[in-house]
Amino acid sequence: MAADLNLSLVSEAVRSLEVRWIFPGKLGTGAAQWFGRFPARTESREDSYLLDPQLGGLSVKLRAAGTLEVKAYSGSPGILEMPDRARGRMESWQKWSFPFSPPSPGRVDSPGWLPVRKNRHVSRFSLASPQDSEPNAGVGQELRCEVELAEVRTRGEDWWTLGFEATGLIELLRKAVEETARLVFAQAPPGLEPSLDESRSYAEWLSQLSRARPWHGGDVAQHPWGELRDAACHELSVHIDENSLHLGGLNGDRPQLLNEPAPAQRNGLR
C-alpha cells in the first residue's frame, strides 16, 4: 500500500536578494583559483526541480538532504554594476523550506522533475547592521551574504555557476550584495566578465533548457522522491498569504497553485 504523504504545513518565509550567473562547460582552473582566495565550505548533492507543469514565478525543489523548498520571485530592484568586472540582475525571492523524508530509498522515474548534480564551494560574508547593537536581535535577522561557485551537471551536460545570496534585514539586502561583490570582484576573474547574458536564476535557466530541448521526464528524472507519484500526491497545492506559505500534497494529476503570485511575480522568469 502506498504511503500517505499528504502534507498540511505552514512556514514563514526567508527573504533574500540574489544574483547568479550560469555558464556552459566545465569550470576552469583560473576561475576556481580566483574564488579560492576566500575560505569556503564544500558540498556535493543532487537537487530535483519541478519543471512540468511550470508554476509561473514559483520555483519548487527537492533538496537531496531531505528538504522541500519553494521559492517565489518578487521582482528585481535593479542591476548589480561592478565596472569592468561584472553586471548581473538582482532578484528578490521569498523562500520556504520543509523537512521531508522519502518513504523509501528507492529511485523511480518521475516525469516533470529534473535532477541537477552540484559540487558547491560556498563562502559566507557577514556584514554589520543596525540590529547588531540590539540585545534582542534574532539570528534570523543577521545580515550576511553567501557567495557560491559550483560545478553543475544536468541532462548529460556540464555547466558552472557563480551566485550571491544575501539574507537579513530587507532594507539592507542590496547593500549586502553590493559590498560583498565589491570585495569578491576587487580582483577580476581571469578571462571572464560576467554579463547580463549569463545572469539568471536556476529556475529561469532550467526553464530555458526545457523549452530549447524538450524531453520526456521518465527518460531523465530519477530521484529518491519518486514515490510521491505512487502515493497519489500528484497535486501540489500552494497558498501564499503575506509572509506565510501553506503547502498541501493532495490527489490529482497536476500541481495546483491556489493563490497565484502578483503579475510581476508571474512574469519574473523569462
For residues 107 and 223, the answer to whether their CB atoms sit within 8 Å is yes
The pLDDT assigned to 10 comes to: 52
Cα–Cα dist 43/185, whole Å: 23
| Helix, coil or strand: residue 234 | coil
Residue pointed to by grid coordinates 576552469: 28
Look up the pTM and report it: 0.77
Cell digits of residue 210: 526545457
Which pLDDT does position 52 carry in this prediction?
Answer: 78
What would the pLDDT profile of 37-49 be if each residue is shown by its tens digit?
Answer: 999 999 999 999 9
Would you call 147 exposed, middle or buried from its count of C-beta atoms within 10 A (0-12, 13-18, 19+)?
buried
Show the low-confidence residues of the chain (pLDDT under 70). Answer: 1-11, 65, 101-110, 129-141, 214-270
What is the C-alpha to C-alpha distance for residues 240 and 11, in angstroms, rounded to an integer?
A: 10
* Element containing residue 219 per DSSP (H, E): helix 217-220
Please name each of the domains of the chain with its CATH number. 8-127+141-266 (2.40.320)
Strand partners of residue 160: 23, 151
Q: How far apart are CA 110 and CA 117, in angstroms?
A: 17
| pLDDT value at residue 17 | 98
Q: What is the pLDDT of residue 229?
A: 33
Say what the pLDDT of residue 193 is. Answer: 96
The pLDDT value given to residue 103 = 52
